[in-house]
Amino acid sequence: MAFTGELWQAIAPIYAAILRHPFVRGLTDGTLPRESFQFYAVQDALYLRDFARALSLAAARAPEDEWIIMFNEHAAGALRVERALHEGFFKEFGLGPDAVAATPLAPTNLAYTSYLLAVAYGAPYHEAMAAVLPCYWIYWEVGKALERAGSPDPLYARWIGTYASEEFGGIVRAVITATDLTAARVGPAERQGMRRHFVTTSRYEWMFWDMGYRREAWPV
C-alpha cells in the first residue's frame, strides 16, 4: 500500500464524521441554514490567504523543481479562489471586500491557520507537505460524495461542483503523488511525523465544518 493509502486509513473515522456532519449533510438535503454557509464562506476566504502562505513556504523548501512550481501555482490558485468568492458568493450575500477583510478569524480558523503556518515555517519539508494535504484531499473526496448525492439548492450545488471537478481532482492527485515520493525518501520516524500532522489537520477540517455550522464566535 502506498504511504498516502496508510494516511487515508488513519483518518477514516474522521472522514466518516465529516460526511455525517449536519453542515455537510445540509449541503445535499438543502437544510443547511444560509447564515451558516455565509459564515463558512467568509471564514474560508480568510483561511485561503494563510493557506496560500503555507504553500509558498512549502514551495521554498521543496527539493524538486516540479514541486516548487506546483506549490507556488497552488498558492496563487488559492488566492484566485479567494477573489472568485468575492465575485460570486459574496456578491450574492451583499458583502464587499472590505466587510470580508474586517471579519475576525473565528477561534477554530485562527487555530488551524496558526498550526499550518507553524509547521510550514518550522518543520521539515516532508512534514509541511503532509500538513497541507488534507485540505486538498478531504475537499475532493467530500465534493465527489456530495455530487453523487446532489443538492436541491443551486448555490450549494455550485459550491459542490467546484470540488468535485476533474480539474480539482488533477491538482489533488499531483499532491498525493508528490507526498508518496517524499515519504519514500525518508525513514520511519519521519513518516510518523508526516502521519501525525496529516491526522491533526484532518481533525481541523472537521472542526472547520463544525465552526461554520455553529457560526463560532469568541466566548469572551
Active-site residue list: 135, 205
State the DSSP string of 3-30: HHHHHHHHTHHHHHHHHHSHHHHHHHHS
Grid cell 465544518 in the structure block, residue:
209
Please tell me the distance from the alpha carbon of residue 73 to that of residue 55, in angstroms, as a whole number.
Answer: 9
